[in-house]
Amino acid sequence: MNFQQVFGKPPETEASAPGRVNLLGEHTDYNDGFVLPTAIPQSTTVQLGFSSDAQHHFYSENLNEQVSISDINHQPSGFASYIFGCIELLQKAGYTIPPLCVYVNSSVPMGSGLSSSAALEVATLRALRQLLNLPIDDVEIAQFAQQAEIQYAGVQCGIMDQMASSLADTEHILFLDTRTLERRVMPLPEKAEILVIDSGVPRTLVSSGYNQRRAECEEAARSLGVKALRDITDVNVTKILPEPLQRRARHVVTENNRVLEVLQGVTSERFGELMNASHASLRDDYEVSVPALDRLVEILQKTEGVFGARLTGAGFGGASVALVRSGESKGIATHVLEQYNQAGYNGRILVPSLGLSDAA
């Protein structure tokens, strides 16, 4: 099916946005902290046209699902909630959005921690900007996208995913201060490339402990008398907190310090060590890993040619990311997946893409 077949006419415009993988800085963005994401080759494409009636019509090619909205007070669920949220927020900002036909196709894997939702939001907003000539820049697109996820999808997310989808590329790392939105484009570590392997265990943020972790961090910050945990730089300060708040805060503080160390310039070997430390912290202090991810990361960390590896995304399933020697990612992935899948799991390589159709 294509736009013409679903809606009976060709689209007026289309726009795309990539998924992202986060190399360091996990669960720090909603603590006003520091992150190091990069874009991945897989992307989401949104095509737009004007509706011939008073309704919005959204169609997802991946899900083979169509949603029509006539009552503006009726908030949809699933993929349509992200699109609807983007439209609603633009209208609340004073822009007139006519009834639309929206067609979505994505090669960003869902449930893998690679921000398929942010890619959908940013692609939707880019397409709306083009179609209606809206005077919004790439940072504003990220901000609208974040609020769509919070207000209409129910995930109390930080702004990292949307900023990465809106501003990052696949050749560089995007350093982002999520409080000030100061950012810096940095090269990948020398003689290294990125490998992303899906654990085969999908995760959903709304039903996971994501919002609980955010609430715990906010409670920890209040107890320490700071606006956000980003304002704590000495990990020893967290020792006055009760458990589990002490461990949650310890992860955020040490994770921010790992990102800031990279900002000063590190070797690929040191970058890998920081990734390994990040996974241990996410597993033990933040408690967002699962046995499958731990096993996958362990195999990666023990494999020749791998500088370091960790879970990526919110956790509770999803994907791992590794920094590996240039030119060796596919060979390493074959070796790792053989061991991992022999243990009864069902992993697959996502980046470098073996063909975007494989990841759809």
Whole-angstrom CA distances from 251 to 171, 218, 284 are 28, 14, 9
Q: Where are the alpha helices (DSSP H) in the chain?
A: 3-7, 79-92, 116-132, 138-153, 160-167, 210-224, 245-263, 268-284, 291-301, 329-342, 356-359
> Is omega for the bond preceding 244 within 30 degrees of 0, making it cis?
yes
Burial class (CB in 10 A: 0-12, 13-18, 19+), 219: middle
Whole-angstrom CA distances from 7 to 10, 52, 101, 130, 343 are 8, 9, 7, 20, 46
Burial class (CB in 10 A: 0-12, 13-18, 19+), 312: buried
Distance CA 63, CA 65 (A): 5
Distance CA 257, CA 84 (A): 37
DSSP 8-state secondary structure symbol assigned to residue 242:
P
161: annotated active-site residue: yes
Whether 89 and 128 have beta carbons less than 8 Å apart is answered as: no
227 three-state secondary structure: coil
Q: Which of 29, 161, 177, 198 is catalytic?
A: 161
15 three-state secondary structure: strand
Bin 71: left if φ > 0, else alpha if -120 < ψ < 50, else beta: beta
Q: Which residues are catalytic?
A: 161
